[in-house]
Amino acid sequence: MQDNAQPAVTISAIASAAGVSIPTVSRVLNGRSDVAPATRERVEVLLREYGYRRRGAGRPTSSGLVDLVFNDLDSPWAVEIIRGVEELLNTEGLSMVVSAIHRRGGSGSTRKWLDTLGARPSDGAILVTTDLDSFLHAELQRLNLPLVVVDPAGVPDLEVPTVGATNWTGAVTATEHLLQHNHRRIGYVAGRPGLWCSRARLDGYRAGLDAAGIAFDAALVVGGDFDYASGFAAGIELLTLPDRPTAIFAASDQMALGVYEAARQQGLRIPDDLSVVGFDDLPEAGWASPPLTTVRQPLSEMGSLAARTLVRLIRGEAVESPRIELSTRLVQRASVRALHP
Amino acid sequence: MQDNAQPAVTISAIASAAGVSIPTVSRVLNGRSDVAPATRERVEVLLREYGYRRRGAGRPTSSGLVDLVFNDLDSPWAVEIIRGVEELLNTEGLSMVVSAIHRRGGSGSTRKWLDTLGARPSDGAILVTTDLDSFLHAELQRLNLPLVVVDPAGVPDLEVPTVGATNWTGAVTATEHLLQHNHRRIGYVAGRPGLWCSRARLDGYRAGLDAAGIAFDAALVVGGDFDYASGFAAGIELLTLPDRPTAIFAASDQMALGVYEAARQQGLRIPDDLSVVGFDDLPEAGWASPPLTTVRQPLSEMGSLAARTLVRLIRGEAVESPRIELSTRLVQRASVRALHP
């Protein structure tokens, strides 16, 4: 780091001296509460004795800059999170540096991004990710920055404070809404494979059906990738089944809009011939025709909470919980019709 | 400014010594070419003699930070511009500070934003605006930052380099496209009143009709505000006319999506019963059902060009033109149908 003299003391030296693991030292540094009090005290004493100092900690206005980091800036929900983070930082008189890792450019671009970050002051970073890889995570730890993850994908067990949303509960709510409107054959368009949020939403859909005593039918579940094209393809697949569903729940708004187009091409009107529910509540959901009923993820609130949490870490205050999930809620618009019971 | 010693020399002192106006000194500082060579030389000599130094100029990596400033971050095209600016700055090893002036909070919030900006280093700023007010403009000049404006609205005659798009030509193209498909009654949903881009697009629509020998019919032009709700209201108004239009050109994609919903509520299908063309080519245009034919504004390219221009200013290089308009182009999707001639 160029902005201040950085002692050579490493986290691993502290861990070794304290007789604990490196992740345990990280937990203490990250203000997590899941460390035994005696262990925490021993680590904190050693951190002080060794003169370990992280950048930013306890010096809230050292640079006045906080980093907000995306994998890529092409996500439609990026601007929602940007707005939430900016609003909170603005009230604290802090400035927000937005960057994208551009991992599509390969590991060289990640390296370049880390170099740029390391070459200037920063008080801390908020990372927005759907799949935090271990290389990047280790590099960020090495920079010694206070770190908070906004994690719509729901990766569990990160070593840093995390803000997410209630993916499972949201999917239960959407499924129950369709059941209450007497739908029994409910198609499901799943999210990107391998992500925790995709798993949680699928499980929520299954739990909703199960609670209503409806058998799970694998033929009604089609894989997607969160984007419009995969929603369209899944919609065509579901709507050309011999016994097609009367309703489709898609694990993202973009996929739900793809289902809209699939329905149109099949000559089906929404909601008369097909009910649709999405997930996210991007602005686009309200601009669809008909306006889309969807599960709202409070993305800008998640951004604000992440920023507030980071400011606490920067000030050396403890953080109550290593993971906070903000609640989702159903936003009813005009894409669901009640069937006769 | 806290990051370096700032001389007390002001632009007005230079102007007075050179016997020119303050705007002329600004033009020289902003690298504009519309200053007589002799005047430019006289001003430049005085700037050197007086030891006038703007922040950042000639010191490309002095802080490594460039500011990107929005009125508010709720515009759907904000993320497009953010992406374009970030990509260019990333290749230059510079970081992007994104902020919103939050003018809805009144002049106090503008003041607070200026204080935050003034309290930390910055090499220059890109301002994205639909209506740059004179107070803000003056304050930014006072901060002595190299400045470029990304200006989708098309404000002419700013003292700083400006990047815009060909609003008038884009509207001509959209109108011609509908005329080529044999539409003769073409409704128009206008943009926010008082903005230059709204005026340019309306004039383009009129010019397109005029070139085809079709009389302008004021009943077919309805005011809008660029947003979904105003597009919906205008759509209802146009589609309930006794002799309703066969096509509607809306001055923004969001308004075009509002027209979609108005058509649906009137029992009209797109494109069978009504053709629609938008303006912007936001990602939402491709996700509409049917996908929307629209005039593409190259927002992310505008952001990249603004960043490249700013980097040149920061390095003290001249800028070729005070205003650059990137060309719009028609993106054909599925919302326009040919009528029988």
- Of residues A70 and A224, the one with the higher pLDDT is A224
B276 in contact with A, Cβ within 8 Å: no
DSSP calls for A162-229: EEEE-HHHHHHHHHHHHHHTT--SEEEE---TT-HHHHHHHHHHHHHHHHTTPPP-GGGEE---SSHH
Q: Is the dihedral of CA B100, B102, B103, B109 positive or negative?
A: negative
pLDDT score for B103? 63
Beta-carbon contacts of A329 under 8 Å, excluding residues fewer than 6 positions away, are A170, A173, A295, A296
Instruction: Specify whether B28 is located in the same domain as B85.
Output: no
Q: Phi-psi region for residue B194, left (φ > 0), alpha (ψ -120 to 50) or beta?
A: left
| Residue B338 placed within a domain | no
CA-CA-CA-CA dihedral for A117, A121, A126, A129, to nearest 10: 0
Instruction: Specify whether B147 is located in the same domain as B234.
Output: no
- The single-letter DSSP state of residue B251 is S
For tokens 């010019």, the residue is: B207
Average pLDDT of span B267-271: 98
pLDDT score for B16? 85
pLDDT score for A288? 97
pLDDT score for A71? 83
pLDDT score for A254? 96
| Residue A257 placed within a domain | yes
Q: Which domain holds residue B9?
A: 1-53
B121 in contact with A, Cβ within 8 Å: no
Instruction: Specify whether B183 is located in the same domain as B150.
Output: no
Query: What pairs with residue B330 in β-bridges?
Result: B295
Beta-carbon contacts of A46 under 8 Å, excluding residues fewer than 6 positions away, are A14, A17, A18, A52
B216 in contact with A, Cβ within 8 Å: no
* CB contacts, 8 Å: B74 with chain A: 83
Average pLDDT of span B89-113: 80
DSSP calls for A269-321: -TTTT-EEEEEE--HHHHHSSSPPEEEEP-HHHHHHHHHHHHHHHHTT---S-
Centre a 10 Å sphere on the Cβ of residue B24 and count the other Cβ atoms it contains: 23
Rg of the Cα trace of chain A? 23
A31 in contact with B, Cβ within 8 Å: no
Instruction: Specify whether A35 is located in the same domain as A84.
Output: no
Q: How far is A205 from chain B (nearest CA, A)?
A: 25
- Of residues B150 and B144, the one with the higher pLDDT is B150
How many structural domains is chain B composed of? 3
Instruction: Specify whether B265 is located in the same domain as B174.
Output: yes
* SS3 call for B220: helix
| Residue A290 placed within a domain | yes
Does the pLDDT of residue A33 top 80, yes or no?
no
Instruction: Specify whether B194 is located in the same domain as B135.
Output: no
For tokens 């020119």, the residue is: B20
Instruction: Specify whether B5 is located in the same domain as B110.
Output: no
Write the CATH number for B27: 1.10.260.40
CB nearest A98 (choices: B94, B96, B258): B96
Which residue in B263, B240, B241 sits closest to B250, CA to CA? B263
B120 in contact with A, Cβ within 8 Å: yes
pLDDT score for A27? 76
| Percent residues over pLDDT 90 in chain A | 54
Does the pLDDT of residue B164 top 60, yes or no?
yes
Average pLDDT of span A298-315: 94
| Residue A337 placed within a domain | no
Say if the Cβ atoms of A86 and B99 lie within 8 Å: yes
SS3 content of chain A, % helix, strand, coil (to 5): 45, 15, 40
Instruction: Please say whether the beta carbons of A149 and A162 come within 8 A.
Output: yes
| Residue B341 placed within a domain | no
Instruction: Specify whether B70 is located in the same domain as B24.
Output: no
| Residue B252 placed within a domain | yes
Q: How far is B300 from chain A (nearest CA, A)?
A: 11
- Of residues A312 and A110, the one with the higher pLDDT is A312
Instruction: State the DSSP H helix or E strand holding residue B132, giving kind and residue range, or none if neither.
Output: none
Q: How far apart are CA B170 and CA B172, in angstroms?
A: 5
Say if the Cβ atoms of B76 and A288 lie within 8 Å: no
* CB contacts, 8 Å: B100 with chain A: 83, 86-87, 90
Does the pLDDT of residue B234 top 90, yes or no?
yes
A6 in contact with B, Cβ within 8 Å: no
Instruction: Specify whether A177 is located in the same domain as A251.
Output: yes
Closest residue of A to B270, CA-based?
A: A264
Is residue B3 very low, low, confident or very high in pLDDT (cuts 50, 70, 90)? Answer: very low
Say if the Cβ atoms of A97 and B97 lie within 8 Å: yes
pLDDT tens digits, residue range A177-214? 999 999 999 999 999 998 888 999 999 999 999 999 99
Average pLDDT of span B213-237: 97
The CA-based angle B182-B186-B189, given to 5 degrees, is: 150
- The single-letter DSSP state of residue B340 is P
Say if the Cβ atoms of B261 and A96 lie within 8 Å: no
Is residue B132 very low, low, confident or very high in pLDDT (cuts 50, 70, 90)? Answer: low
- The single-letter DSSP state of residue B118 is H
Q: How far is B186 from chain A (nearest CA, A)?
A: 22
Is residue A281 very low, low, confident or very high in pLDDT (cuts 50, 70, 90)? Answer: very high
Query: Which of A45-49, A257-261, B181-185, B311-315 is predicted least confidently?
Result: A45-49
Instruction: Specify whether A219 is located in the same domain as A148.
Output: no
Q: How far is A64 from chain B (nearest CA, A)?
A: 7
Centre a 10 Å sphere on the Cβ of residue B216 and count the other Cβ atoms it contains: 11
| Percent residues over pLDDT 90 in chain B | 55
B23 in contact with A, Cβ within 8 Å: no
Instruction: Please say whether the beta carbons of B160 and B128 come within 8 A.
Output: no
Instruction: Specify whether B257 is located in the same domain as B158.
Output: no
Which residue in B334, B301, B325 sits closest to B167, CA to CA? B325
Q: Phi-psi region for residue B106, left (φ > 0), alpha (ψ -120 to 50) or beta?
A: left
Q: How far apart are CA B280 and CA B164, in angstroms?
A: 12
Average pLDDT of span A98-119: 76
pLDDT score for B186? 98
Instruction: Please say whether the beta carbons of B321 and B280 come within 8 A.
Output: no
Beta-carbon contacts of A26 under 8 Å, excluding residues fewer than 6 positions away, are A11, A141, A159, A160
Q: How far apart are CA B325 and CA B318, in angstroms?
A: 18
| Residue A333 placed within a domain | no
pLDDT tens digits, residue range A131-157? 666 667 777 777 778 889 887 566 656
Q: What is the 3-state secondary structure (H, E, C) of A232-248?
A: HHHHHHHHCCCCCCCEE
Say if the Cβ atoms of B289 and A264 lie within 8 Å: yes
pLDDT score for B104? 57
Instruction: Specify whether B153 is located in the same domain as B271.
Output: no
| Residue B127 placed within a domain | yes
Does the pLDDT of residue A267 top 80, yes or no?
yes
Does the pLDDT of residue A272 top 50, yes or no?
yes
pLDDT score for A5? 40
Q: How far apart are CA A228 and CA A293, in angstroms?
A: 17
pLDDT score for A234? 98
Q: How many residues does chain A have?
A: 341
The per-residue pLDDT of chain A, averaged, comes to: 86
Which residue in B70, B250, B97, B74 sits closest to B151, CA to CA? B70
| Percent residues over pLDDT 70 in chain A | 88
Q: How far apart are CA A224 and CA A232, in angstroms?
A: 9
- Of residues B19 and A49, the one with the higher pLDDT is B19
* CB contacts, 8 Å: B261 with chain A: 289-291
Instruction: Please say whether the beta carbons of A117 and B64 come within 8 A.
Output: no
Q: How far apart are CA A133 and CA A188, in angstroms?
A: 28
Instruction: Please say whether the beta carbons of A291 and A285 come within 8 A.
Output: yes
Instruction: State the DSSP H helix or E strand holding residue A252, giving kind and residue range, or none if neither.
Output: none
CB nearest A257 (choices: B100, B113, B287): B287
Write the CATH number for B242: 3.40.50.2300
Does the pLDDT of residue B61 top 90, yes or no?
no
